[in-house]
Structures are given as structure tokens and as C-alpha cells.
Amino acid sequence: MITMTRLHSITMLCLVLASPACQQRKQDEVVETRVRLSPMTVTQPVLRQPGMRESQDLSRVGFLIETGWTSGPIEMRFPEVLRSDAGFHFLDHYVSAITPLAEWKQFPQWRSDPQSGGLSYDFKTPDGLRLIASAIPAGDEVKMEFTVINESSGPLNNVEANCCLTFGGCPELNDARNPAMIHAVLDGRFQSLDHATPTPSEMGRDPWFLIVRDESTVLPKVSPTWWRIDQHHTENLMAATTRDGKYLVGYTWDREPAGLMSNTSNPCLHTGMGASPEIPPGASFTWRGKIYLLPNNPAELLRRHHHDQEAWKKPSTP
């Protein structure tokens, strides 16, 4: 039996939930967590030219991410680099020492799905690869898939699409050269890279970190740009927090690369995609990834990350 006191409480709760202020809060929450994607279109490709400066931007394949708590876009370079044992199939910036196998004089044409808000492309490269990529917003996440179909005459080994999640256009996350905003699971603990050693002051340069799982790596300890930190990652996950500390962006792929990386001068995150097994002619390989756009709750980020990594172990999981 519902007593009069209980009935009164229920009535008051209903009135509160129906109040304009409460409804507005609900609308604000929806706006704040809604993720919007937009494609980066290329109509006139910028191609390599002799005399370009190192790392000069060429045309990019990518998409932009916006939420209710960002005033500028987060950019996903999808991919930044595509390579295999055969060489570099694509590179979206100039490196004098690298000559791609072929120049892309045409670029992927993005398709938008008005119902899901998702983006996709289906593109054949000049050197015989077919690339099928998609990004779909789902609440406060972005689900990604990237497939390489080998339409060349020979097998492909160690295909790797390196995708850069970069924050240069987002004021809330563009806290350049600040390792405290970049996080990873180092030696079993989620922590910021300002705990990493050697430190930027010890190295005498801006922080550009490489993180490996163990010391069996063949990657050098120091390169002209990055250095390998002493700590080891124990999850294929990186994150960046906003300047006000209220939100974070997490980033992961189902196949781990040789090392995680962050160039804090951009700043950016790299968590994959790791190299494929051999792809014979006519065969394909698919990677799956996620971007999480959450309140700053590392425990929730780790919970979702673990759930997704377990789900991705099942081939039939979408």
C-alpha cells in the first residue's frame, strides 16, 4: 500500500522531473554528450614537391569530431601513414627520405549517413589496395573500422595504418608541450606522462614520447624526434584531459602497434593500428577502434576499454 506521505513524495518527484529547469538540464546533458563527425574533403590534392620543408602538410584523409564541450574540432587522420613491407602506400606529410609507392592524385570521397551521423569511404589506391573505412558516433563514443583488401598481384605483409588523433584545433585539449595532459596505463597504473622518465628537461627538448610494452622491442631508445621512456604500457590505451580537468578523450585499437606515441607539441595520441598478418591477393584484414569522449573518469574509461577489447576478440562482434 502506498501511504499518503509516499504518494506526496512521488507526486513532488514527478513535478520536479517535469519542471523546465530539470528538462533543460536533461537537454544540456544530451547536447554535451552528443558527438558530431564531419569529413575532411580533398578536391585538389597537395602532392610532394622537391624542396618542401620536413613534415610539411600534404593532403589528409581524415574526419573532425565535435562534442557539446569542445569549441573546436578534434581531428582523426584516418590514416596518417599506410605502410607495409612493400613500402609506404600513403603519407600525409612530407619526409624527404620517404618516397611513397605511388602518389594519390585522387582522394577518398566520404559518404555521410544522415541517420547514424556516420562517415565512410571506399577507395582503391594506385598500387592495388582497396581501403574501406568507417567512423560512427554512438553516444559519447566513435566506433571505427578500417579494412584493407589486397587487390594487387602479390601478398602483403605487416600492413599498418598509423592513425593520429590530434588536438591542435581544439582549445580545450590543445595544451601543447604539457605532458600532464597526456595519460597512459604505465606499469599497471593509469597516470600522466609528466611521471615519465627521462624527462624533457633531462633530454633537453620538447616532450615526444614513445612507450613500449617491454624491452624486447627493436625500436631505438632515442631518435632525432622522440625518445623511449623507461616505463612500459600495460594497456593499448592513451588519453588526453581538457585544460579544466573536466573531460577526457580516450583512444584505442584492437591490434597493438610496436609502441604508443604522443608528440605533445601537436598534441596527439597514437595507439595503432598494429601490423597485420600476411594478406594474400584477394584477401582482406580489418582493424577496429574506439574514441571515447567522456567526463574525466579514468575508471569508466578503463571499464569501457576492457569491455571493447574483450568484445573485439570475438570475430563476429560488430
Q: What angle do CA 293, 298, 299 make, to 5 degrees?
A: 115
pLDDT at residue 317, rounded to an integer: 46
Q: What pLDDT, on a 0 to 100 scale, did the predictor assign at position 32? A: 58
pLDDT in tens, 240-297: 999 999 999 999 999 999 999 999 999 999 999 999 999 999 999 999 999 999 999 9
What are the structural domain ranges in the chain?
21-186+233-312
pTM above threshold 0.85: yes
And the C-alpha cell for 161?
595504418
Pairing of strands 208-211, 227-228: parallel
CA 282 – CA 296 distance, rounded (Å): 44
Task: Specify the length of the chain in residues.
Answer: 318
> Which CATH number describes the domain made up of 21-186+233-312?
2.70.98
pLDDT above 70: percentage of residues in the chain: 89
Any idea what DSSP says for residue 257?
Answer: -
Whether 149 has a pLDDT exceeding 70, the answer reads yes
Q: Is the pLDDT confidence value at 24 over 90?
A: no
Q: Which long-range contacts (CB under 8 A, 24 or more apart) does 130-137 make?
A: 131/82, 133/78, 133/108, 135/37, 135/63, 135/76, 135/78, 137/34, 137/35, 137/36, 137/37
20 CB contacts (<8 Å, ≥6 apart)?
Answer: none
